[in-house]
Every structure is written in C-alpha cells, then in structure tokens.
C-alpha cells in the first residue's frame, strides 16, 4: 500500500495543513472539497495512520500527522528542486542574472567576484539591487530577482533555500562627542535605554513584528544606510555598523567603538547567506557567482547561527509576518 502513495497526495496533505481546512485547500488546488477529503482519506488508508482529527469544525493534525508533515514537505521540496534543476539544464545559461544584495555585504568582496564573473560570462548582463531586511528577498520571492544576498533578515520563509557565504564583523559606534563615548568598560543595557539607538527599517512589508539587536526604548528608524552613517557621525545616537564601513571613521576619530552588554549566546557577527526560491535554483552563472562569494579574501567564514545585530523584526519561518 505504501508504494501507492503519490506526490499529489502529499501536496494535498501539505495544502490542507497550510490552508487550515479542506475547503481552503480545495480553493488553493482548484479542486472540490470532496476531492480533497477523499484524497486525504485514501492517503491515510495507504499509510495506515490518521493524519487529521476531524472531530472539530476544522481538521487538526494528529500526533502522527505532525510527525509525517516534515517528511512530506521535504519530499515535495526535493521533487520541486529536481524539476527546477532539470529545467535549468534544459534551458542552459541564464540570459541575464539579477540579484539583490544586503547593504551590509562587503562591497570589496562583491567587486572581486563580479570582476571574475565578467570574464567568465562576458555576454550575461547583471542587474543589481542594494537593499536591507525583507526588501532583499522580496524581489526573489516575486520572481524579479533570481538570487538574494541577505544578512540583516535573520529568519527566512520555508519556500527559500539558503547557503552560508561569510560572516561580517559588526561594531557598535558613536561620535566622540556622544555621552556613551566616555563610558568606561562594558556599557550595560540599563544605560543604553537612556540613549537614542539608530536602526535600519525595512522598505518592504516582509519583516514586521519583532526586533533583534534593539537595546533602547528610544529608537530612530532609518531606511537608508548612508543616512544612518551620517547620523552616527553627527552624534544623534549609537548604532551597529559593519566594521568595514566605519574603519576609516574610527581611524580618523570621527567615530568611536563602544562595548555594550550582549546576551551570552550572541556574537558581533552577521551571517551572510545566498538565498533563492526552492522552485527556482540558480543556473550556471548564478551558481558560479554564489560559489565565488563564499569566504573570499580572508573571509570571516564562521557559520554562526546566533550571530547578532539584525536590528529589526524577522519573518516567520512558516508564514511571513509583516514589519522591523
């Protein structure tokens, strides 16, 4: 009986869970509710387990159903990847490579990789967007970009695949005239509450609801990294910056590094990842670029799942909740 389980049954199972009811799954799959219900009953009969408790108004997963859901998703994703990979091989080299990149990513790393890309694929045009948080992955989700390079959005939707590239060291800085600049030792979070923190906000609607790396109740939100940099140098508040962006300012005494109290499980690093949709993996040109962005030029390549200072909300893994 188990050999008769089909991909269509698994997709119907996943749709019923994600949509919350058999009728909603039917609308998504463009099938009658009775067909969805019968498909799931047949699946349960073949598996020999009950996937849904149907005693309430809306069906809920049983313990067995929860245990099998992850496997069903993995199988469906693998098949999607298999088909997408075959499509890529059939179609050959991408006619154009479009990608969005986090403003936190070191431009020197990107320039080195793009220089090699131009030599390797001279007839493949590049289209580049520089964004932050959800605005990096939004065009990838929408299909207008093939690849995203993201660090400032710590949690991604399940529909996306990610590959670690490198870690970007972060520092907390203030202007020399700022009151925190003269603080001796590690600054406790209780003290940070009294000062303005400058954080980046999201141009998209993909990262509402939660905040990461925000230590003050008094927050100014800026949608532009250049504006935050200027505001920091003007002494308007404290904030976290990629070290490579402020090295000259630190050397010229326009900014000063301060040490702040961090939770024990966090480190001053931002993990950069290449992301793309599960059903649209990169072609030869995109794959080449990803591989050549991994840990270049001495790269701080330490895969740190608890890396810090994504100063804003994150998307939910199962359903994206909207803000930063």
Nearest to 84 by CA among 197, 170, 160, 191: 160
Closest CA to 220 of 158, 312, 98, 93: 312
Q: What is the pLDDT of residue 321?
A: 30
Short-list 238, 222, 203, 199, CA closest to 133: 203
Q: How confident is the model at residue 205 (pLDDT cuts 50, 70, 90)?
A: low
Distance in angstroms (rounded) separating the CA atoms of residues 286 and 289:
5
In this structure, are 176 and 144 located in the same domain?
yes
- Per-residue confidence (pLDDT) for residue 80, from 0 to 100: 80
* Cα radius of gyration rounded to whole Å, the chain: 23
Could you tell me the CATH number of the domain that includes residue 213? 3.40.190.290
Same domain, residue pair 76 and 203? no
- So what's the pLDDT on residue 206? 60
- What pLDDT does residue 148 have? 94
Report angle CA 190, 196, 199 to the nearest 5 degrees: 110
| pLDDT tens column, 14-68 | 999 999 999 999 999 999 999 999 999 999 999 999 999 999 888 999 999 999 9
**Looking at residue 83, which CATH number applies to its domain?**
1.10.10.10
**pLDDT score for 264:** 72
Beta carbons within 8 Å of 44's beta carbon, 6+ residues apart:
50, 51, 52
Q: Are residues 81 and 109 in the same domain?
A: no
179: left (phi over 0), alpha (psi -120 to 50) or beta: alpha
287 and 185 both lie in a single domain: yes
Q: How confident is the model at residue 210 (pLDDT cuts 50, 70, 90)?
A: low
Work out the number of other CB atoms within 10 angstroms of the CB of residue 187: 19
Cα dist from 241 to 56, 104, 153, 159, 176, whole Å: 51, 8, 15, 29, 16
Per-residue pLDDT, averaged over 204-223, amounts to: 73
pLDDT value at residue 312: 40
Question: What distance separates the 2 farthest-apart alpha carbons in the chain?
Answer: 74
Average pLDDT score over residue span 220-241: 93
Query: Is the full-model pTM beyond 0.75?
Result: no
**Contact of 130 with 101, CB cutoff 8 Å:** yes
Residues in the chain, overall count: 324
Strand runs (DSSP E) across the chain, as ranges? 52-53, 60-61, 97-102, 126-131, 147-150, 160-174, 197-200, 219-222, 239-242, 256-258, 269-277
Q: Are residues 47 and 194 in the same domain?
A: no
pLDDT beyond 50 at 2: yes
Q: Which sign does the torsion angle of CA 29, 30, 32, 38 carry?
A: negative
- pLDDT of 291 > 90? The answer is yes
- What is the pLDDT confidence band of residue 309, given thresholds at 50, 70 and 90? very low
Taking 60 as the threshold, does the pLDDT of residue 311 lie above it? no
Average pLDDT over residues 246-258: 96
Answer for the pair 168, 308: CB distance below 8 angstroms, yes or no.
no
Confidence of residue 207 (pLDDT cuts 50, 70, 90): low
Same domain, residue pair 73 and 107: no
- 199 contacts 222 by C-beta, under 8 angstroms: yes
Q: Residue 202 has what pLDDT?
A: 74
> Is the pLDDT score of 187 beyond 90?
yes
Q: Where is the domain boundary, 89, 119, 153?
A: 89
Mean pLDDT value across residues 242-247? 94
Q: State how many domains the chain has.
A: 2
- Please report the pLDDT score of residue 208 as a whole number: 58
Q: What is the mean pLDDT of the chain?
A: 84
Mean pLDDT, residues 56-82:
89
Domain boundary among 67, 89, 111: 89
What is the share, in percent, of the chain residues with pLDDT greater than 70?
Answer: 85
- Who has greater pLDDT, 296 or 13? 13
DSSP secondary structure string for all residues of 231-285: HHHTTS-BEEEEHHHHHHHHHTTSSEEE-B---TT-BSEEEEEEEEETTS---HH
193 shares its domain with 155 = yes
Residues 129, 45 within the same domain: no
Tens of pLDDT, residue by residue over 133-162, are 888 888 999 889 999 999 877 677 888 899
**Which domain range does residue 38 map to?**
2-89
Examine the domain organization and report whether 124 and 10 are in the same domain.
no
Do 197 and 314 lie in one domain? The reply is yes
Q: What is the pLDDT of residue 301?
A: 42
Range 100-116 average pLDDT: 92
Among 89, 106, 130, the domain-final residue is 89
pLDDT recorded at residue 57: 85
Q: Are residue 197 and residue 311 in the same domain, yes or no?
A: yes
Whether the pLDDT of residue 96 is over 70: the answer is yes
How would residue 265 be classed by pLDDT, with cut points 50, 70 and 90? low
168 with 223, same domain: the answer is yes
Q: Which two tokens stand for residue 45?
A: 């009969």
Minimum mean pLDDT among 89-93, 118-122, 191-195: which range? Answer: 89-93
DSSP label of 3: G
């Amino acid at each position: 009986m188990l050999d008769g389980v089909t991909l269509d049954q698994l997709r119907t199972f996943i749709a019923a869970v994600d949509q919350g009811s058999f009728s909603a799954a039917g609308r998504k799959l463009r099938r009658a509710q009775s067909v969805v219900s019968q498909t799931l009953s047949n699946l349960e009969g073949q598996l020999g387990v009950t996937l849904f408790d149907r005693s309430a108004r809306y069906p809920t997963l049983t313990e067995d159903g929860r245990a099998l859901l992850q496997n069903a998703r993995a199988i469906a994703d693998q098949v999607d990847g298999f088909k997408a990979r075959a499509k890529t091989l059939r179609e050959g080299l991408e006619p154009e490579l479009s990608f969005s990149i986090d403003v936190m990513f070191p431009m020197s790393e990107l320039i080195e990789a793009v220089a090699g890309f131009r030599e390797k694929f001279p007839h493949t045009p590049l289209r580049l967007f520089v964004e932050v948080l959800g605005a990096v992955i939004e065009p990838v989700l929408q299909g207008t970009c093939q690849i995203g390079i993201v660090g400032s959005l710590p949690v991604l939707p399940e529909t996306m695949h990610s590959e670690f590239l490198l870690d970007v060291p972060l520092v907390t800085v203030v202007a020399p005239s700022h009151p925190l600049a003269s603080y001796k030792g590690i600054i406790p979070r209780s003290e940070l509450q009294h000062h303005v923190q400058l954080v980046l906000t999201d141009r998209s609607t993909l990262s509402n609801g939660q905040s990461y790396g925000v230590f003050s109740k008094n927050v100014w939100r800026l949608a532009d990294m250049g504006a935050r940099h200027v505001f920091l140098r003007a002494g308007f508040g404290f904030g976290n910056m990629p070290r490579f962006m402020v090295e000259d300012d630190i050397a010229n005494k326009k900014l000063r590094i301060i040490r702040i109290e961090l939770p024990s499980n966090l480190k001053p690093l931002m993990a950069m990842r290449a992301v793309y949709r599960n059903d649209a993996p990169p072609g030869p040109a995109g794959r080449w670029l990803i591989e050549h962005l991994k840990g270049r030029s001495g790269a701080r390549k330490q895969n740190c799942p608890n890396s810090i200072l994504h100063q804003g909300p994150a998307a939910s893994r199962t359903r994206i909740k909207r803000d930063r």
